[in-house]
Chains A and B, each alone.
Chain A
Amino acid sequence: MRALAVVLALLIGMPAVALEPDEILPDPVLEQRARELSKEIRCVVCQNESIDSSNADIAREVRLLVRERLVAGDSDQQVLDYLVARYGDFVLLRPPVKPGTYLLWFGPGIVLLFGLAAVFFFFRRQRAAATGAASLSAEEEARLARLLDDPDAAQNNQPTAPAEPKERR
């Protein structure tokens, strides 16, 4: 889907190959780790590309470096720390969780909680409207009556004939 903007202008990221055969480590386990790790590291001169998919010189250099350090016995985190010390958080495609990114990481959860709260209050207000019958208009009375009627009807119908709910479907 990266097409849209491509349509609009020049594409810089070449559709060329990234990882070259001569970079691959003989140890498949280590190579697998290197590849997974490469997908978390941004090529710093590219636009949102990981070093794994970039064909820039510097991406190749970092790919080689990652492999060297893994062979030397570094943990994944040590490799990332090494790069962050030189290029900052920018080099990580998964931003670290820290005060500056709390909103990013917890934002989706906050939005969801906010939405859940809104849904909760929506239903509570609806129930309040349904029970505060005294102040209802005639139309609302009628609607309420229908709503209150319905559960019984539904309960009578539903469990016995689940395949055919009350409504014509």
Chain B
Amino acid sequence: MTQRLFFLLPLLIFAVLAGYFLWGLSPDRDPQALPSAMIDRPTPEFDLPPVPGLPQPGLASADLAQGEVVMVNFFASWCVPCRAEHPYLTELAERSGVPLYGINHRDKPEAAVAWLEELGNPYRRIGADSGRGAVEWGVSGVPETFILDGEGRIRYHHRGPLVGDLIEKEVEPMLRALRP
């Protein structure tokens, strides 16, 4: 009997392997997706100057833990998905009243100004980030969005554009939970 099992072993191992393969092919899985390591961590220490030519002040860690839930959005004028995300973000900020802070990532100031003039500017504060800011936040690309609670703790982190039903399914429930 044990000998039989021995001969079955390769088949069993392959069956397990095939199970993983099947799981790996499922359309819901994005092989490129990178989970966030920032959830439930306090905001990193940072201090970003304002973007020249914009009226909004810059952004620093001190602005975040003010007892209020806020959203922080990394964006750039050269980033195509940011353009797609922009109207959703604007609408969300207006509707919910949650302060939206922007971090302008590796951008030319004049390009950022023109971009915001064209599309509208929903941000209360905008920090200009030469690149290091993104690393401090564990950001891998733009756009990425964070939701922080009143103590400045990161509660939600999304990589990629916040569009479609993501807002309804993930962002709004999170905001409701944080602001009873």
Contact = CB atoms under 8 A, between A and B. Distances in A.
Nearest to A68: B132
Contacts of B132: 61, 64-65
Interface in B20-73: 34-38, 41, 44
Contacts, number: 42
Contacts of B35: 88, 90
A80 interface: no
A57 B130 CA distance: 11
A58 B37 contact: no
A90 B159 CA distance: 15
Interface of B, secondary structure class, is loop
Q: Chain A: interface residue count, which band? A: 10 to 19
Interface residues of B, number: 17
Nearest to A61: B131
Contact of B141 (A58, A64, A88): A58
B134 interface: yes
B41 A87 contact: no
Contacts of A44: 34, 140
A62 interface: yes
Given A44-B34, A57-B106, A86 B141 contact: no
Interface of B: 34-38, 41, 44, 106, 131-132, 134-138, 140-141
